[in-house]
Structure 1
Amino acid sequence: MRLNSLATSLLSLFLVTALSACNEEKVADKEKKVYQVPVETTLVDNRTITNTYRTTAVLEAKAESKVTNKVTGMINKILVEEGMSITKGQILAEIDSENYLLELERTTIDVDSAVAEFNRSRPIDGEQLISVKDLEKLEFLVKTRKNQQKVAAIQVRDSKVRAPIAGVIALRVVKEGNMTANVGSEMFTIVALDTLQGVVYLPESEMNNVHVGQQAYLNFPANAKELPATVDLISPIIDTESGTFKVTLKVNNDNHVLKPGMFAKVSLTLDVHDNAQIVPQKALLVTDTETSLFVIQDNKAKKVTVVTGFEQDGFVEILTPLNALEPVVIVGQQGLKIDSAVKIIGEEETQKKNVELTTTNNAVKENADKQATQD
């Protein structure tokens, strides 16, 4: 009986020991098989980043004039066509001036007659030929007739329609041989192409970051060109509905490549930060309550809540101090949790390159030191 009890006890002990060993092996195997989340990383870069405001604008002529007729009549000649460059004062069209020339001749005769009568009525050798009152009337008549003569001369002058500004004929409304409409009817439109302008509207928060003469760039999809522009005017008024203010950009167009009405994409640099912490924008995890990213410490993911600054070309400035030696996760962070084990894709190749680079740098430094010693 004692032998049976002892055998039973030994058997139980053996089974317990065996089961414990199996459990330990399973736990060890489980620990060995901890899943590592594959991620891609990059290191924090320190460089210059700019705050660039991007918007669109439509070009318009800074100087534009709608030429109208000041007198009426038959249009005898049209001397310009659309697209022609003209100078200030150049004759654009001629209106029949026969009636106006006759009126000028009539008023000239009236002036000569009034002047002759006034001269005959002036005192001779101190003798007053007519009353002072009548002499004053004759003097006033001379002035009135001369004013009428000037008006007639102006009508003769205005029968030749002239350009009030230099530029290009953008539109011709009238035709040769037709009668002009009422005085003040549009005949031509002239635009000055040497300098064009684009109007943009910036948010109120950028008011202190914009100044006259500031550099901007305009990109034109129509001809795939990017041209510089400068801030010419800044409105001092904030639109209460949109919270924006008006900024006028000046564009040099001496070669007349650009045309009014062209669509442009505007890039205006508002501020520059030097030596800023820069990471790819895709590294960020943005929610309603916070912006964060994951860094790698001892092959584990650590979540860092960050404050961001400027954004430029797919990169973002991080205002929260980061460790430059801790890799930042840029791919795979959606599958990470705090303290998740990670496997950095391409880490071995990166380490190899770093070792090669360090070796090369050391060799270069050693050679430089030897050279300095020899010198």
Structure 2
Amino acid sequence: MKSAHLKYTVLVAGIFVSSIILYSCGTSEAKTEEKKEAAPTITTVETIALEKGIMSSALQIPGELTAKQDVDLYAKVNSFVRQMTVDVGSEVKAGQLLAVLDAPEITAQLTAASSRLKSQEAVYIASKANYDRLLQTSQTPGTISPNELDQALARKNADMAILEAAKANYKEIADTKNYLEVRAPFDGTISVRNISLGAYVGPSGKGSEKPMFFLQNQRILRLAVAIPEVYTAYLSNNTEVSFSVKARPNEVFHAKVKRMAGSLDTRLRAERIEMDIDNSAKKLLPGMVAEVKITLPSKESTFIVPKSALVVAPERVFVVRVVNGKAEWVDVQKGREVDGNVEIFGDLKQGDTLVKVASEEVRNGFPVNIAK
């Protein structure tokens, strides 16, 4: 009985040991297979040689046309409109009379100043004549005391100073009266008229809320464009631009950059550039919005690659360089993109071998096979 029980125990122990051995062998084989699967695979890739080139792109952006010269014309003094010689659309020359104003109090002030001036001229003439007689008489010794002569000279000088003041006062009032004639400061076109005959006018904020006239030089227009920061390095004076307007969709106009702000607008983060437009034919109007096209050539050669060679991932932007048969991710900065090509900037040198169609599947540090 004991012999049978012993045999049964040995049999069970043998089965248990065999199971452990089989399990260990199976686990070892599974780990071996996993290691084989984790081994890096060799990817076959097509490559290109990194080269430099000059990239030229075009920027299309809206701009605004304004008159190169424009001005609001107000009355210099409070007055009434007596005469108008122009209206909306009138072409005027510099110095041309636009309106005549009437201010009776200024005329009265001028008459009074003229009377004071003539009176003072008479006083000065008398004091000067008196001094001249005393001076001539004093040539005879003992006839005129030095003190009397000095007093006469002082009176003459005082009367002369008062005369000069009267002349200045008269000139000031006369100049003010000249302001009653409103004249054009430059050649241009009257585009706004806010007055009529008999209207009360005066300086801005004191007599009139609106200007009498708005004068524009429409023969030369100014095209202003705000260039985004990223494109400012490609611009310079005399850069060619072309533009069109909705009113003349079949015509293309051309100009050159004349002025650059040299700084960025803090609100738009853009640089203002301006072009002068010859508008002698009057095809364009101030206030028009132009669709501007600007060619932006590179000032120096840069690395240019096909767009497919650039990997734009959420964490980084990179290209895949092949070095000694292995893939190497190189972080770069992306520049302009034109016709399927893109500028890149980074730790690269001319002649580097890059994967033509790059992706994150070409793992960093893994071996690659270059397609022939």
Give TM-score scaled by structure 2 length: 0.60
In structure 1, the partner of 2:260 is 234
Distance in 1 between residues matched to 2:178 and 2:235, nearest whole Å: 48
Deviation at 1:154?
1.0
Q: Which amino acid aligns with 2:123?
A: E
2:24 maps to: none
Distance 1:291 1:170, change over 3 A: farther
Q: Residue 231 of structure 2 aligns with which residue?
A: 206
| Counterpart for residue 105 of structure 1 | 111
CA RMSD of aligned residues (A): 3.6
Residue aligning to 2:17: none
Q: Whole-Å Cα distance in 1 between the matches of residues 79 and 269 of structure 2?
A: 51
2:284 pairs with 258, 264, 268, which one?
A: 258
Count the aligned residue pairs.
262
Q: Does 1:216 align with 2:241?
A: yes
Quick one: which amino acid aligns to residue 150 of structure 1? Answer: K
Residue of structure 2 aligned with 1:153, choices 168, 171, 174: 174
Residue aligning to 2:155 = 134
Q: Distance in 2 between matches of 1:172 and 1:284?
A: 63
Inter-partner Cα distance in structure 2 for 1:257 and 1:221: 12
Bigger shift: 83-92 or 133-142? Answer: 133-142
CA shift in 2, pair 1:287/1:149, >3 Å: same
Name the structure 1 match of 2:183.
Answer: 162
Which secondary structure does the structure 2 equivalent of 1:145 belong to? helix
Note if contact 2:337-2:343 (Cα within 8 Å) is conserved in structure 1.
no
Which of 50, 70, 75 pairs up with 2:56? Answer: 50
The alpha-carbon distance between structure 1 residues 291 and 61, as it changes in their structure 2 partners (threshold 3 A), is farther
Match of 1:238, as an amino acid? L
Which protein shows a greater Rg? 2
* TM-score calculated relative to the size of structure 1: 0.60
Identify which of 140, 143, 146 aligns with 2:164: 143
Q: Provide structure 2 residue ranges, at least 5 long, that are not aligned to the other structure.
A: 1-52, 138-148, 320-331, 345-349, 351-355, 357-361, 363-372
Structural mapping, 1:342-361, within 5 Å: none
Which residue of structure 2 lines up, in the alignment, with residue 191 of structure 1?
216
Segments of structure 1 that go 5 or more residues without pairing to the other structure are 1-46, 293-305, 322-327, 329-337, 339-375
Per-residue CA distance 1:62-90 (angstroms, 9 max, x = gap): 21111110122221111111111111111
User: In the aligned structure 2, how far is the partner of 1:82 from the partner of 1:187?
Assistant: 11
1:118 is displaced (CA, Å) by 0.6
SS at match of 1:175: coil
Identical-residue share of aligned pairs (%) = 21
Amino acid at match of 1:257: K
Which residue in 1 is equivalent to 2:132? 124
Match 1:316 to one of 340, 350, 353:
340
SS across alignment from 1:217? strand
Show the counterpart of 2:68: 62
How far apart are the structure 2 equivalents of 1:198 and 1:309?
Answer: 28
In structure 2, how many angstroms separate the alpha carbons of the residues matched to 1:216 and 1:264?
11
Q: C-alpha displacement at 1:278, in angstroms?
A: 11
> Which residue number in structure 2 is paired with residue 333 of structure 1?
none
Matched, 1:75 2:81: yes
Q: Deviations over 1:28-78 (max 9, x none)?
A: xxxxxxxxxxxxxxxxxxx99631121101211121111110122221111
Closer, same or farther: CA 77–319 of 1 in aligned 2, 3 Å: closer
Q: CA deviation at 1:307?
A: 10
Deviation for aligned residue 1:239: 3.5
Could you say which residue in structure 2 is the equivalent of 1:350? none
